[in-house]
Amino acid sequence: MFKSVKELIAICESENKMIHEVMLEQEMEVTGLSEEEVYANMDKNLQTMENALDEGLEGVTSTTGLTGGDAVLIKNYLATGKSLAGNTLLDAVSKAVATNEVNAAMGKICATPTAGSAGVVPGVLFGLKPRLNPSRRDMLNFLLTSGAFGFVVANNASISGAAGGCQAEVGSAAAMAAGATVELAGGTAQQSAEAFAICLKNMLGLVCDPVAGLVEVPCVKRNAAGASNAIVSADMALAGVTSRIPTDEVIEAMYKIGQTMPSALRETGRGGLAGTPTGQRLKQEIFGD
């Protein structure tokens, strides 16, 4: 069983395996499930993701009215052909936003790794689908690879905004998606690790400051940023760019940053954007005195 990214990559290289294969074997060992059962469970997760983004792209609005409809705006803008970011990137962003809008509207999502960051991994995966044309099994393997990186983060640092800020939620989700994207695109295990490190480095120090304490503002738009960061980081790694700081050390740095982050910036709804005059006004309008 691997406990670090270094150990994970070493297994891949010594046994000539892909990351998803190592994660599958570990999941089977830990749960006692067969390969078919693991894939069946993962397929349920994938279907939940697909349903959520489809629902969001049709248009949803949260009970508070703070979020909703942005995924549709992005989808419609994408259809004009005027996108500056390009079809693949903006399509991933629209689907990440759609998923997180469904979460804000109390719909059913698959936490990857958390509800507040649930849009990044499926947004990236389904955004890449038209470009890479993966099979259903390829898509399930994408989730296993994402899970392998998430497993390391959860056991060595944190995936909780309350414990480590949004860097631990959207940051981890984006890095997970970046690593999985590299494998889906045919990169090596080491390149996946480089993409993960590059991506997480770009989100170090990101605070968790939900307005009114709700997972809506700025959470939905941070999923958009996370999805775009993941794809760019994957491209960098596939181009041969490497991280000067090893992946596991980046994870450790994220953990230490989270430990020193003031409580006002860790999901308490007191600091950052939540503490602005508008943030406080919105809280008052929603909850009163």
CATH code of the domain containing 157: 1.10.4100
How far apart (Å, rounded) are the C-alpha atoms in residues 163 and 96?
A: 23
b or e along 253-277 (b: 16 or more beta carbons within 10 Å of the residue's beta carbon)?
A: bbbebbeebeeebbbbbbbbebbee
Residue 202, domain extent? 5-287
Domain count, the chain: 1
pLDDT digit string (tens) for the chain, length 289 residues: 899 999 999 999 999 999 999 999 999 999 999 999 999 999 999 999 999 999 999 999 999 999 999 999 999 999 999 999 999 999 999 999 999 999 999 999 999 999 999 999 999 999 999 999 999 999 999 999 999 999 999 999 999 999 999 999 999 999 999 999 999 999 999 999 999 999 999 999 999 999 999 999 999 999 999 999 999 999 999 999 999 999 999 999 999 999 999 999 999 999 999 999 999 999 999 999 7
How far apart (Å, rounded) are the C-alpha atoms in residues 11 and 15?
A: 6
pLDDT confidence of residue 223: 98
Decide if 286 contacts 212 (C-beta within 8 A).
Answer: yes
State both tokens at 108.
């059913």
pLDDT confidence of residue 99: 98
Cis peptide before 246 (omega within 30 of 0): no
How far apart (Å, rounded) are the C-alpha atoms in residues 95 and 257?
A: 30
Decide if 111 contacts 68 (C-beta within 8 A).
Answer: no
pLDDT confidence of residue 1: 86
